[in-house]
Structure 1
Amino acid sequence: MVPERVSLITIGAFNLPKLRTFYQELGWEENDISSDHYAAFKTAGVILSIFPIEELAKDAGVQINHDKDTFKGITLAINVDKREQVDATIEEIRRVGGNILREPSDAFWGGRTAYFADPENNLWEVAWNPASVFDERGAMLSF
């Protein structure tokens, strides 16, 4: 059986220092192993790491799509505790230079949502779902 967990998400970076700075400016705490060649940020549920895309592709044995503006077919999410936190979070992301793709709006499913892209077009959703349940660390348990 494959364990039902996501423990680490790695984003392949074209410009690691620039991408690392963006996440630092969000106020995210880095793990002690972070350096100019690898960055790891502590989050409520998983570790978010940033690694040079060339090295990541070599490690996985795949080719790189050098068009960083192409949608990669994946989004990451920051789920918040309160409706108003969606708007406040998007304003902070805007302040540090995130590209707001969709302004905060009420969702058809009863929550509130918005989207942004980091400097390398990795897509993130900021969402509030009234049915979400979080543990004491802030990790989402259900929605």
Structure 2
Amino acid sequence: MVKQRISLITIGAFDLPMLRSFYQKLGWVETAFSSDSYAAFQTAGVMLTLFPVEELANDAGITLEKKPEKFHGVTFAINVDSAEEVDQTMDAIKEAGATILRKPSDAFWGGRTAYFADPENNIWEVAWNPSAVFDERGAMLTF
């Protein structure tokens, strides 16, 4: 049996200093684990790390393909506490230099959602779900 747990997500960075700078501009603080060649950010429930994509591919034992210019087939999400916070968060994200893909709008499922791409086209959703439940750290328990 495999434990049903996601504890760390690593984004392979084509330009680590540039991508690191973007997440710092969001106000995210790096942990003591960070170094010149590795950035680690503690989020509410999962560690988000940035690692040079060439080294990540080598570590996984795969051949690196060219840099994706469009959708990678994966999205990440930042779930917030109110509908208004979606708009406020997207304003801060835009100011940090993200590409806004979908402006905040009410969702058919009763919440509010928006999408952005970081400087290397990693796609993020910012969402408010009225039925979401978070623990004391802000980690989502259910929705």
TM-score by length of 1: 0.98
Deviations along 1:33-56, whole A, 9 cap, x unmatched?
A: 112200000100000000000000
The residue correspondences of 1:17-28 to structure 2 (distance < 5 A) are: 17-28=17-28
Counterpart Cα distance in 2 of 1:63 and 1:80: 37
Following TM superposition, the consecutive aligned residue runs of length 4 or more in structure 1 with deviations greater than 4 angstroms are none
Match of 1:68 in 2: 68
Q: How many residues align?
A: 143
In 2, Cα distance between equivalents of 1:139 and 1:65: 34
Matched, 1:15 2:15: yes
Report deviation, 1:65: 2.7
What is the alpha-carbon root mean square deviation over aligned residues?
Answer: 0.7
Cα shift readout 1:13-71 (whole Å, capped 9, x = no counterpart): 00000000000110011110112200000100000000000000001111223233131
Distance 1:121 1:20 in 2: 14
- Secondary structure of 1:51 counterpart: strand
Gaps of 5+ in 1: none
Q: Identity percentage over the alignment?
A: 67
TM-score with structure 2 setting the length: 0.98
Amino acid at match of 2:19: L
Question: Runs of 5+ in structure 2 lacking a partner?
Answer: none
